[in-house]
Amino acid sequence: MEHASLTQLEQRLMEHVKTLYPDVNALNFIKECLDTFGIQPDAPPPQPHRNPWSQEDVVLITYGDTLRRDNEPPLHSLHDFLRTRLRQCISIVHILPFFPYSSDDGFSVMDYTTVVPTLGDWEDIAAFTREFKVMGDLVINHCSSRSLWFENYKTGQTPGADYFVEAAPDTDLTQVVRPRTSPLLREVATASGVRHVWCTFSHDQIDLNFRNPQVLLEFLRILRLYLDKGVRWFRLDAVAFLWKTPGTSCINLPETHEMIRLLRLLIEHRAHDAVIITETNIPNHENLTYFGNANEAHLIYNFSLPPLLINSLVTGSCEYLKKWLMSMPPAQQGTTYLNFIASHDGVGLRPTEGLLSDWELDALVSTMQKFGGKASARTGPDGQPKFYEINISLWNALSGTVQHGPDNLGFARFLCAHAIMLALEGVPAFYIHSLIGTENDDERVEHTGQLRSINRHIWRGEDLDAVLQGEGHPPKVFAAMQKLIAIRRRQKAFHPNATQYTLHTGDALFSFWRQSQDRMQSIFAIHNVSDQPQTINLAELNLISTDQWFDLISEQIFEDRVGQIILRPYQYIWLTNVRL
């Protein structure tokens, strides 16, 4: 086959394959990739710069077994809860890894092709896809030490014999960026003698060797299966660490970006509505590179948002949050941000590098510890431990302030945080526990020995039903969240790609302006992030005098366009010229 006779898809694949695998027969390997993934060489390309999302899209992040009822598979229980209570709020469901695993609550995968029987089966996943868009995890950097692949590696059999990254113990790996404090290499007895394998995260999570093209083919088979099962949104877990080259940082390497471009190319040609999200818990300027030139991730996690927003609300100053927002480039059409402020993991602190000083970071960690949180560390370049993550439920994290400790404003503070998230450019994602204000689960931490368990509570169905009908804060949070989401979903100015400008209204008021893509609707989103009343002068906003202005939250009409508004502690207004 002459290169001139290649289809456009084959020509684009050729560029990626030659970069990643210069020693393979590129033409043969391209054919193998297409055959493995089930794509014809002349498959039509997706429409470029298309936004397969709108202001109506809201993500729910949850484990498959967060909700358990007697004599029912957890996926059934979860589906029933979403269908009956959240169908009008949620459009995308991120079901965290539902595969057989050996540790890390699913992120140490033993078998990528089956559903954990105690959760349900593939038909249960298919049931979700008939009512929601489903996001699935592609745990691509590593797999379980108890997987068939690793068992085969130890005995020298295939598949698996050459699927893992090895390094001699005397290799200089001092430049490697670490997310953990555990030793990078694990000694393993194999049929060929003692070997040392690479373990970025834990000794149960063995890093896969993507220098071997057969590993890529394995993941193409896995992705094809997920697409066949109806999964369309793909979260590439820990993808920043994918490619290893000793003597480098082994994070964000050019080959990693090349691999993401290759995967996106194939996935989009197989399913035009497919979406790739990169999970890269790294400093903000590095995270932004995963958009590529609108040819890598469709969405990137806004990892700097959680720590900066929490910091703003507990200090009463949005100085650093505002500076960050002003530095964020508008996402190109066909790309956007995934905004979240809580997840199954803790609050990552690497994304604050260059944004918060060491003193400010220490104050934040100390405050979270006073609110019942824990702090985990990683090994820094100097070999010393550095704060990596705060483990705490969002409800507890926002239970008070740095200056005064816990107070009675937690509910207002909690809603303000989510109002900000919902109003920002991007697609909002709610951790299921944030929808009900679940508190720290210290008992689960004691049981598992894992700090992240503090925010991974498992609800018994009858207990959750009782709590949502009780007198505490969960029913109030649940109702308020649904109301906020419903308002957001009607506003064209809250489209993930609508225009956004940061406003200068002082450090206690976090404010920005959104405008719909047809320029018909404007929203001034103004949030008091302090525990003191704050005044906003409407004259500063330059409201168009011919428009009628209306607060979407209070439903108050503002006839006086140059008057003042006094915002209570943590009160917010979404001032718009179009009532939807």
pLDDT for the residue 545: 78
Q: Is 35 annotated as a binding residue?
A: no
Threshold 0.75, pTM exceeds: yes
Q: Is the dihedral of CA 398, 55, 542, 557 positive or negative?
A: negative
pLDDT at 353 over 90: yes
Q: Is 344 annotated as a binding residue?
A: yes
**Three-class secondary structure of residue 195 per DSSP:** strand
Among the listed residues 252, 255, 337, the one whose alpha carbon sits nearest the alpha carbon of residue 299: 337
Distance, in Å, from the CA atom of 165 to the CA atom of 179, rounded to the nearest integer, reads 17
The share of the chain scoring above pLDDT 90, in percent, equals 94
Question: Six-digit token pair at 2?
Answer: 């002459």
Q: What is the mean predicted confidence (pLDDT) over 212-241?
A: 98
Question: Six-digit token pair at 314?
Answer: 């507990």
Distance, in Å, from the CA atom of 267 to the CA atom of 275, rounded to the nearest integer, reads 8
Give the tens place of pLDDT for each residue, 247-278: 999 999 999 999 999 999 999 999 999 999 99
pLDDT for the residue 232: 98
Are 122 and 136 in contact by the 8 Å Cβ rule? The answer is no
**Which residues lie closer than 8 Å to 439 by C-beta, 6 or more apart?**
393, 395, 396
**Residue with the larger pLDDT of the pair 411 and 563:** 411
Q: What is the mean predicted confidence (pLDDT) over 69-95?
A: 96
pLDDT for the residue 580: 80
Distance, in Å, from the CA atom of 340 to the CA atom of 441, rounded to the nearest integer, reads 21
559 — pLDDT class (breaks 50, 70, 90)? confident
Give the tens place of pLDDT for each residue, 89-136: 999 999 999 999 999 999 999 999 999 999 999 999 999 999 999 999
pLDDT at 4 over 70: no
Q: Is 236 annotated as a binding residue?
A: yes
Are 334 and 48 in contact by the 8 Å Cβ rule? The answer is yes
**What single letter denotes the amino acid at residue 383?**
G
Quick one: which H or E segment has residue 79? helix 74-81
**What single letter denotes the amino acid at residue 20?**
L
> How many C-beta atoms lie closer than 10 Å to residue 113's C-beta?
12
Question: Six-digit token pair at 442?
Answer: 């210290």
557 — pLDDT class (breaks 50, 70, 90)? very high
DSSP per-residue letters across 380-401: -TTS-EEEEEEE--HHHHTSEE
Give the tens place of pLDDT for each residue, 307-349: 999 999 999 999 999 999 999 999 999 999 999 999 999 999 9
pLDDT for the residue 1: 43
- All domains of the chain in start order, with CATH: 59-94+111-133+255-494 (3.20.20.80), 499-576 (2.60.40.1180)
Residues identified as active-site: 237
Q: Is 237 annotated as a binding residue?
A: yes
**Three-class secondary structure of residue 476 per DSSP:** helix
pLDDT for the residue 3: 64
Give the tens place of pLDDT for each residue, 367-407: 999 999 999 988 877 777 888 999 999 999 999 999 999 99
pLDDT at 445 over 60: yes
Q: Is 452 annotated as a binding residue?
A: yes
Q: Is 142 annotated as a binding residue?
A: yes
pLDDT for the residue 259: 98
Q: What is the mean predicted confidence (pLDDT) over 182-194?
A: 97
Are 146 and 202 in contact by the 8 Å Cβ rule? The answer is no
Question: Six-digit token pair at 154?
Answer: 């130890």
